[in-house]
């Protein structure tokens, strides 16, 4: 599909579907749109009147024009309040335009929006992201996809000069988001630790990353008892994945991104039950975000060195599975009484964090579908953010404001670690019922000594039961754009 900017506006555009954006309560026709309306014999004003269109960001008003018209259909898009406009308003409007084009089986789409003072490349990037993400659909597992692939061949962003760099950047980043979505959406029988390792190897081959896959024995030698404890109950071997992107220039910063890679979380002997277990193929969404981020980095080539680390395993039950009450020793020597085998993510991450810190990076960020408690606290749309350093937290919040992925800072309340104390080992792996996402973060903090570190609990936003503005139901690819934006902002 071709995606380009065109300096001329909507007045002379010809094609299948023309989407025109309006700020809320500002639907007076002026300038180009007024001229177009005159040419169309007042069809736009009629549509506004008939549908009582007010510019609210909900379903667009669409009409078919006479067969003689160079524009076959017009859609009015509501952008919401002008005063609250962000890049996300444009991203969502573009996504709605793309979905409308798909529903109307348009081959060509023209998008004409009222512009604000956003820098051109940031604007075209946001518009392209909205379009490309909304058009992505995963038909891999349908024998006869009812949802046929879109016929859209060409999208023109009207009335914009330049902005090609933004479009290209968005294409690179979206390819990473789609990789993440497809890894998360695929069943656990297909995406195993081995699959994640193979994905890392193939990215390394394509983009020239360094890659190391540590097998169980290698991890044993490194003393990764916490990670390997989780892997004990699975018949599928664990893989510890380490990717490195090294820029051609002297790196401005050295960073590590770490993803929870539990390819299926049955809960272990603290078995999950109905309502909790069905979606647990998504428990590797942090790992998927890291791999998606690397796919984007390989194409963008920013001047920053980035390590990607994934301790991949299943959390399953066989005769070797962890017993509740078992004591594990992590690679930093700390001992853990496993009082709940379902608090496995933090066990895998403990060894991943110890490993990452040895790489002597300026900052490290982990993404993990760590706790149901984070969903209780922040809902499905917002990830929790914990950080040992304000500057790092701030840089992540700023990146999230650009990408429209919502994150909210939560406290590392030390006192709550009391509930994790064990009479027999250095700590337990699970605290009580209250502040479960905070105690999860506090557990991870035990495995970081001095490197600035941030933890994102992404249990909610990586999965959407109904779909959202630019993702269908299921895997959203949350975190990829955020990681890339954060890395680029360094
Ligand atoms: N993978 C789950 C967390 C999760 C729940 C992710 C729902 C996405 C949706 C994690 O391993 C888990 O089971 N956490 C436990 C921790 C508890 C035992 C301390 C939880 O949230 O119940
Ligand atoms: Mn679990
Ligand atoms: Zn889990």
Pocket lining: 341 vs ligand 1, CB cutoff 6 Å: no
Name the superfamily (CATH) of residues 171-488: Zn peptidases (3.40.630.10)
Indicate if ligand 1 lies below 6 Å from the C-beta of 462.
Answer: no
- How remote is the CA of residue 233 from the centroid of ligand 2, in Å? 13
Q: Which residue among 264, 270, 281, 372 has the greatest number of ligand 1 atoms within 8 angstroms of its CB, and so is best to mutate? A: 372
Within 91-135, strands assigned E span: 108-112
| CB-ligand 1 contact for 436 (6 Å cutoff) | yes
**pLDDT, tens digit, 9 for 90 and up, residues 289-309:** 999 999 999 999 999 999 999
Instruction: Answer yes or no: is pLDDT of 58 > 80.
Output: no
Would you tell me which CATH number, out of the four given (3.30.70.3270, 3.40.50.300, 3.10.20.440, 3.40.220.10), belongs to the domain 2-140+147-160?
Answer: 3.40.220.10
* Cβ-contact 336, 347 below 8 angstroms: yes
pLDDT in tens, 10-55: 998 999 999 999 999 999 999 999 999 999 999 999 999 999 999 9
Does residue 182's CB lie within 6 angstroms of at least one atom of ligand 1?
no
Q: At what angle do helices 164-185 and 285-300 cross, to 10 degrees?
A: 150
Q: Whose CA is nearest to atom 22 of ligand 1?
A: 372
User: Measured in angstroms, how far is the CA atom of residue 362 from the centroid of ligand 2?
Assistant: 30
Residues 221-275: tens digit of each pLDDT? 999 999 999 999 999 999 999 999 999 999 999 999 999 999 999 999 999 999 9
Mean pLDDT of 324-347: 98
Band of residue 78 on the pLDDT scale cut at 50, 70, 90: very high
pTM of the complete model: 0.98
Which atom of ligand 1 is found nearest the CA of 429?
19
Helix (H, G, I), strand (E, B) or coil at 216: helix
Is the beta carbon of 32 within 6 A of some atom in ligand 1?
A: no
CB of 4 closer than 8 Å to CB of 163: no
The answer to whether residues 256 and 365 touch, using CB atoms and an 8 Å cutoff, is yes
In which band, very low, low, confident or very high, does the pLDDT at 128 lie, cut at 50, 70 and 90?
Answer: very high
- Using CA atoms in the order 426, 428, 429, 432, what is the torsion angle rounded to 10 degrees? -140
CB 176 within 8 A of CB 292: yes
Q: Ligand 3 centroid to 153 CA: how many Å? A: 41
Give the closest residue (by CA) to ligand 1 atom 13.
Answer: 342
- The domains of the chain are located at 2-140+147-160, 171-488
> Does ligand 1 have an atom closer than 6 angstroms to the CB of 343?
yes
Distance CA 241, CA 260 (A): 11
Could you identify the atom of ligand 1 that is nearest to the CA of residue 272? 13
How many whole angstroms separate alpha carbon 70 and alpha carbon 250? 53
CA distance 152 to 2: 9
- Place 145 in a pLDDT band, splitting at 50, 70 and 90: low
354 CB within 6 A, ligand 1: no
Mean pLDDT of 342-347: 98
User: Which pLDDT score is estimated for 68?
Assistant: 85
Q: Which residues contact 184 (CB under 8 A, 6 or more apart)?
A: 281, 282, 284, 285, 288, 462, 463, 474, 475, 477
Q: pLDDT tens-digit profile of 155-182?
A: 999 999 999 999 999 999 999 999 999 9
Tell me, in angstroms, the distance from the centre of ligand 1 to residue 342's CA. Answer: 7
Site to probe by mutation for ligand 1, drawn from 263, 342, 349, 438 as the one with most ligand atoms within 8 Å of Cβ, is 342
To test the ligand 1 pocket, which listed residue (269, 345, 371, 416) has its Cβ within 8 A of the most ligand atoms?
371
Residue 467 carries which DSSP code?
A: -
Residue 147 has pLDDT above 70, yes or no: no
Task: Please spell the DSSP secondary structure of 268-333, one letter per residue.
Answer: TTS---TTTSTTGGGGGHHHHHHHHHHHHHHHH--SSEEEEEEEEEEE--STTSPPTT-EEE-TTS
Q: What does the block give as tokens for 245? A: 């992107």
Q: Give, using CA atoms, the residue closest to atom 18 of ligand 1.
A: 343
Catalogue the active-site residues: 272, 346
> Could you tell me what percent of the chain has a pLDDT over 90?
95
Burial 195-205 (b: 16+ CB within 10 A, else e): bbbebbeebbe
Q: What is the rounded (10 degree) CA torsion for 90, 94, 96, 100?
A: 150
């Amino acid at each position: 599909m071709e995606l380009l900017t065109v300096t001329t506006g909507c007045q002379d555009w010809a094609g299948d579907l023309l989407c025109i954006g309006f700020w809320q309560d500002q639907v007076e026709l002026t300038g180009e749109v007024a001229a177009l309306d005159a040419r169309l014999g007042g069809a736009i004003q009629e549509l506004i009147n008939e549908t009582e269109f007010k510019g609210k960001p909900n379903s667009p008003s669409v009409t078919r024009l006479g067969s003689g018209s160079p524009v076959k259909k017009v859609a009015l898009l509501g952008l919401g309040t002008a005063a609250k406009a962000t890049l996300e308003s444009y991203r969502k409007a573009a996504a709605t335009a793309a979905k409308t084009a798909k529903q109307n089986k348009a081959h060509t789409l023209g998008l004409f929006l009222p512009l604000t003072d956003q820098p051109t490349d940031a604007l075209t990037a946001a518009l392209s992201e909205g379009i490309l993400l909304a058009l992505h659909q995963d038909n891999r597992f349908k024998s006869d996809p009812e949802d046929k692939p879109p016929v859209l061949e060409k999208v023109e962003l009207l009335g914009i000069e330049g902005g090609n760099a933004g479009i290209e950047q968005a294409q690179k980043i979206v390819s990473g988001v789609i990789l993440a979505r497809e890894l998360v959406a695929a069943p656990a029988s297909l995406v195993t630790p081995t699959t994640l390792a193979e994905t890392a190897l193939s990215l390394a081959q394509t983009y020239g990353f360094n890659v190391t896959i540590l097998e169980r024995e290698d991890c044993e030698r490194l003393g990764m008892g916490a990670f390997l404890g989780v892997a004990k109950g699975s018949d599928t071997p664990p893989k510890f994945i380490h990717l490195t992107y090294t820029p051609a220039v002297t790196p401005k910063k050295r960073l590590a991104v770490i993803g929870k890679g539990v390819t299926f979380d049955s809960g272990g002997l603290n078995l999950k039950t109905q309502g909790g277990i069905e979606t647990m193929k998504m428990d590797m969404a942090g790992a998927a975000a890291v791999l998606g981020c690397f796919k984007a980095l390989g194409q963008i080539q920013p001047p920053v060195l980035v390590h990607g680390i994934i301790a991949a395993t299943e959390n399953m039950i066989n005769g070797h599975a962890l017993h509740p009450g078992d004591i594990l020793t992590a690679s930093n020597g700390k001992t853990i009484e496993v009082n709940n085998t379902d608090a496995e993510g933090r066990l895998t991450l403990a060894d991943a964090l110890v490993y990452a810190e040895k790489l002597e990076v300026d900052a490290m960020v982990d993404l993990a579908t760590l706790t149901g408690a984070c969903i209780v606290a922040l809902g499905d749309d917002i990830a929790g953010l914990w950080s040992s350093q304000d500057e790092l937290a701030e840089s992540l919040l700023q990146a999230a404001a650009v990408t429209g992925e919502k994150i909210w800072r939560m406290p590392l309340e030390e006192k709550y670690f009391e509930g994790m104390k064990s009479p027999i080992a250095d700590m337990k792996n699970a605290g009580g019922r209250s502040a479960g996402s905070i105690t999860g973060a506090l557990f991870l903090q035990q495995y970081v000594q001095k490197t600035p570190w941030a933890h994102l609990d992404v249990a909610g936003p990586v999965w959407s039961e109904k779909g959202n503005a630019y993702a269908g139901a299921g895997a959203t690819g949350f975190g990829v754009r955020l990681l890339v934006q954060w890395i680029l902002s360094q």
